[in-house]
Amino acid sequence: MATAINHEGGSQSHEAPFPPLERITRPAVDTDSAAYYLGRKAQTLRTWASKENGPLRPIRVHGRLAWPVDQIRKILEVSHA
């Protein structure tokens, strides 16, 4: 998570590390993004992919995992904007 510190006033503001799921237009996201949206650790998603026992299946692109956004939305019951 990005944190900006104002050294004069000492206040902190937090920026979201990922855009809201409703604004994602790509067909798939990487493991870290998917884990963020699903509220899980990235390693949990890698285990799901390895054991093929999770609530969604990744797409493998050149040896990397890509998680379908439409399936993430369906699990979380989030509509596309």
- DSSP states along the chain: -EEEE-TTT--EEEE-SS--GGG--SSEE-HHHHHHHHTS-HHHHHHHHHHT-SSS-PEEETTEEEEEHHHHHHHHT----
Is 11 contained in some domain? no
Position 54 in a domain: yes
Total domain count for the chain? 1
pLDDT digit string, tens, across residues 10-35: 455 556 689 999 999 999 999 999 99
pLDDT at 48: 97
Q: 59-79 pLDDT, tens per residue?
A: 999 999 999 999 999 999 987
**Host domain of residue 59:** 18-76
Residue type, 41: K
| Residue 22 amino acid letter | E
Q: What is the CATH number of the domain that holds 46?
A: 1.10.1660.10
